[in-house]
Structure 1
């Protein structure tokens, strides 16, 4: 969708936002942390539109991306009112934002998509602003984390947000072993060029369900729940399944507290014995189902 077509589609949104939100109080010298859509532009809130038009400047992860987003809603800010603040300059840029706040300016902060300071930059900015005794006002909205959770069908037990697992293979193996012991659901994020590696790493968890959410809120959105051991095969079934941004919800398992120890036993046995023998002994030692251990053993061998 081009910026001009987007602006035409949202022509009525900005006046409606002002009418709905203008009567509220928006203090000066405050940082407004604004959630933006994760894909579908219609997922912006009326209050977010009003604030993005009201503030003196917008600090953002990518100025070009944010300029396109603002233009889609009928706003066109001068380049001087867009302040780059990303993971590589967060400390320095935060100091500049704080100086503006001390002058009484209203500053909004947006990441490229979703709610800032969750897995995107912004947390250091918020902490620095609070340390200076200045106000931080969050504007809730779209989040890939809560969007995926709402479609995963979790009924109890809570969840943990883990984000991106380590890139290095050894660290990733240890991280998965820790996840196996986690008794709550775990939310993971991954980029398309690493999704196959993550799928192989999670495959050792066997029958534990994983909800895969790809391209959330976009035209080719896809959400499916599969056993962790079958995740690599699911990705290979269609080329498009390895495209787009991913959120994965690793469901809680009844034996999750012992799963990490089970995997360690299995790894030790596999280092000395043939696969079938190692699986048989691991099942006898741990009491875990042999089929689940067999799938985990295949995934461990494939990683090796």
Structure 2
């Protein structure tokens, strides 16, 4: 059984942003047309003013352009776009992610071959650039199906009923730690995040941050650890206590060795463990 996907691409632009920001989203959208599994595409524009050029571009490719008449935060833009999709499987995608013709083919196959698809909380591909070391493509040996200890909101696949079950993307954060909040909500419902070994996409990374965005790292970080103080661990990656997200006993045991290391090595050790997750935490 093959599966089809509806994709919402989130976009935000300010007057001082370079033209590459707009060209990037146009390129990202056009590449989605090379994926036969993608049947619906929505561009959710969270900028202050609508963009007629982007609207016309979307019309020319039989996509929907959505502008809510006001500035939308990162999660608001995604949630608004998801509401326009009708497919069982929905995808949230950043405007600087460029898929290949087989990105969704591999995800479709993973779903079809999974013993218990109802256990799937979120599916993510390997990326050319990712803040989460596990998701960063290194080589084919480490690009395997695995239970991921986290996710980044760059390209994420959900069953619609799962996205609705957890209340969509939380709007408590402006665009940082939304991913870990989603992981926690999925775990609360006994749902898992999987990295799909044969699925790959290019991620440009930080295309708009240099010129200003509608997110605040410090605000989100303070709020996240205020809500989840048990996850705070100084000198960790993002000050995160990652053993909470490890499924395998071996990874949790290896994580405890971190306490024996000097402060300057603790974060590097965590990164190494996260890179090894595809070998130690198979799906």
Q: Which has the higher helix share?
A: 1
**TM-score, normalising length: structure 2:** 0.27
**TM-score, normalising length: structure 1:** 0.26
